[in-house]
Amino acid sequence: MALLAALAVMFWLHSRLFAYADDDAYIHFRIAQNLATTGQPYFNPDDAVKASSSTGWTILLALLIRAAGQAADAHLPAMIAGLNALVTAAGALLFTRLLGRLIPPAKKTIFPALFFVLYLAVTVQPSIGLMESSLALLLAGAGLNLLWARRPAALLFLSAAVFFRLELVILFGLALTTAYLWQKMPAGRLLAFSAAGALPFVLFDLYYFETLLPNTITAKAIVYAVHPLLVLRVAADSLLPGALPAAANDLWLVVVKIAVTLVAVSVTGYLIFKMNRAAADPMVRRRAQFAALMAGWGALTLAAYIANSTYIFPWYVPLYAVPLLFAMTQAAASTSGIGWRTGAALVLAPFLATQFAGLGAVMAGAAIDPGLYPAFAAGARVRHYRAVAKQLYRDYPAATLMTSEIGGLGYGFRGKIVDGAGLVSPEALRYHPMKIPQERSGGHIGAIPVGLIEEVNPEIIVSYDIFIEAFLKSPVQSRYTRRTQPVFLPDDMQRTAEPSLWGSKHLNIFIRTDVAGP
């Protein structure tokens, strides 16, 4: 019954809000369309750049497009919304069933129910955003359930999951260690299943790209300059979404969120250590080891983001939030003694309250108005990108379009796209990193370098002000005719009291003067 209810809610939310999908989802869609129609998994035909960091997702999308035929041209986002709704609900069931096996029998009613809703709250926005995180977690959940059952086939699912989200290599490494050292599984079978899960994707990448490393990883390391404290702040905001009685940019609230997150992770770690140390029953010890596995997966993933100064996008969040919240819930359910139980409950309570409130905001966006959806502004810009791109492609089908957000624009504009942030255009990286504040306002901004514009001389540039600050101050702008549109489409403009994005009230469209016409 819980699964059926979750399925109904997920399908409803996705059907109401998938129009506000993430920009990066459309990068995957364009690559998959090219693979399905031309046999080449490239963003721009004949540019052999590994632009996708999710090989498995690209292949799956291409297979769906081939199977759907012409229907995919008009309905691909809706199709993926339906798929993600199903996958997200199934992932919630798998992880909740695993939790039920890892906690004392007396706690198997309330705590699994709480975590079931927590899982949906953490994963729903990336899922509605049409990203691959939910499917990666579903594979991880299948692998973890098999690992608990001491089946070497767990490594098949976990190694395959790495090719849907690369960060899951941390989970794969921990699971392989657990299976070999703690569960004493045969090394040969573990390696055989690991190879079986990974080999198809490895061969695919080597055949088409001659590398396993996505260009996006190289580009983001060069383009973005994000302070580790900002990464930690974003992580704390994602685990404790929404503002507690003040604006989210208040310094004290940032400090509180970071402090609560660090205390919760530390207390959870201590409770797991205490559980393992006090365990006389082998089953209790196994449960403690699995709690350590889940906590280690979440903490190491988050630590990797912080250590590498990785800007955390919304679809990264479930990859550390799900295991951390799983470990917190398991620790709270397994703690004995009134004092420790009270402490564990207090640690978990802020995450339950804020995540449930975040899920409520998503539901309000679906039930009342999309303007209430927390990811409304981000999705509204992508809707606008898609509409603008279709019109530009009708007017200038042979043109080259330059931008630094290539998803929605690339999905609608089927011609040549040059990516100012270098994700699909490695030549752009020669002009990065751009100086702060001379050329861009902050290190988290993937702006368009003026030098690249001069080199490529594109017929069209589409961008919000934040990505073209240097260009707006340069003489190169004189080569173009500037046109502006409202920041969002007309219906979305009516849904927000302050129709602006990143300080801009317009979307800029620059057409090179010699092709602009009257």
- What is the average per-residue pLDDT within 316-324? 98
Which range, of 82-96, 270-284, 354-368, 431-445, averages the lowest pLDDT? 270-284
Q: What is the rounded average pLDDT of the residues 478-493?
A: 96
Please give the angle made by the CA atoms of 359, 364 and 367, to the nearest 5 degrees.
125
Confidence of residue 245 (pLDDT cuts 50, 70, 90): very low
Give the pTM: 0.95
Reported as a pLDDT band with limits 50, 70 and 90, residue 340 is low
Nearest to 303 by CA among 320, 318, 317, 291: 320
Please provide the average confidence, as pLDDT, over all residues in the chain: 93
Domains of the chain, by residue range, sit at: 2-372, 376-516
| Other CB atoms within 10 Å distance of the CB of residue 303 | 13
Residue 493 CB: number of other CB atoms within 10 A? 13
In the predicted structure, residue 199 carries a pLDDT above the cut 60: yes
Q: What is d(CA 147, CA 139) in angstroms, rounded to the nearest whole number? A: 12
- The whole-angstrom separation of Cα 156 and Cα 368 is 43
CA count, 13 A, side-chain hemisphere, 94: 23
Q: Give residue 244's pLDDT band: very low, low, confident or very high (50, 70, 90).
A: very low
Those residues whose C-beta lies under 8 Å from the C-beta of residue 29, and which sit 6 or more positions away, are 61, 76, 77, 80, 411
Beta bridge mates, 417: 401
Helix (H) or strand (E) holding 402: strand 400-403
Distance CA 330, CA 271 (A): 10
pLDDT tens track for 122-169: 999 999 999 999 999 999 999 999 999 999 999 999 999 999 999 999
Specify the pLDDT at position 279: 62
Instruction: Classify residue 85 by burial, with Cβ atoms within 10 Å: 0-12, 13-18, 19+.
Output: buried
Q: Which pLDDT does position 475 carry in this prediction?
A: 96
